[in-house]
Structure 1
């Protein structure tokens, strides 16, 4: 992970500190990340969860597993556990993964992101302006203003 961030001109320590600060400011638990895991299969299940009306619960369970509990979200056993935590059927989740039901849809999403220059999540893009990573509200507000947006009158 550190090598990927450095390759993109990002300091891994700064990225980690930004994530920790953003999480703390929202009262969100956040563990010390030491590994990055391939999230493609979690993305596939996210599309499935959306069809089942459980996308928010699934995303929250993935967040907790990855960022708080440091679980390997590339493993089927972990993804089945996450599905169950989100109120989804773990056996059905395994079948969705086995069949690759949403594989092509995720590849299309990732291809589109690459064409847009998105290299990490979250990435905010407005016109030619782009902001990568977790940032406090003040930084996001400055980004929006720099992109030409103005506050509305109350």
Structure 2
């Protein structure tokens, strides 16, 4: 832990966050900075069974296909696997488990696996069985994860994340905050470098 911290507001069902996560990893390779993930309620009203993107965006199938094509091209350039989406899902419980994982030493992979489950395999990450598959793939304790889900032990923590998002005035993700200054969106890596350089964040 050092004195240089970048807060990243994010959600597992946000494609721009998936893209941004890849760029944050590259930042970590260059700068002496800690990353604090703050989970954001992108579509908190989404039912447990999910919601069609057609309904979410109130658009035509042609528009959805174009969005998927554009996103697929961006992901390919970034070197990220991606399959066309038809649904969005409720990420609240996944956020709770992801936050639990951050309290453990072995925590780095679970965020990747949640993104993979949704953006590559199209799985409903709002479902307990899918979340537990991600937990198992991450090598984390299944029994403890089941207890956390059953008793919602990290619900209050995510409530605080959502309140923090509101208090910071975050309305879209990803949002990057350093020293109370922010930039929004899946910024090019060069922009993120410039952002940290402005604050004289040391390089490795």
| Aligned residue runs from structure 1 range 48-87, under 5 A | 48-87=100-139
Alpha-carbon displacement from aligned partner over 1:68-124 (angstroms, at most 9, x marks no partner): 111000000000100000001223212111111110000110111122222343223
* Bigger relative contact order, structure 1 or 2 (CA pairs below 8 A, ≥6 apart): 2
Structure that is richer in helix per residue: 1
Is the Cα contact below 8 Å between 2:96 and 2:155 reproduced in 1?
Answer: yes
Q: 2:184 aligns with which of 121, 131, 134?
A: 131
- RMSD between aligned alpha carbons? 3.4
- Tell me the TM-score normalised to structure 2 length: 0.58
The DSSP-based 3-state class of the residue aligned with 2:108 is: helix
Structure that is richer in strand per residue: 2
Structure 2 residues not aligned, in runs of 5+: 1-52
Deviation of 1:66 (Å): 1.0
Measured in 1, the distance between the counterparts of 2:77 and 2:200 equals 23
Counterpart residue number, 1:149 = 198
Paired positions, count: 145
Counterpart residue number, 2:152 = 100
- Tell me the TM-score normalised to structure 1 length: 0.74
Measured in 2, the distance between the counterparts of 1:72 and 1:98 equals 18
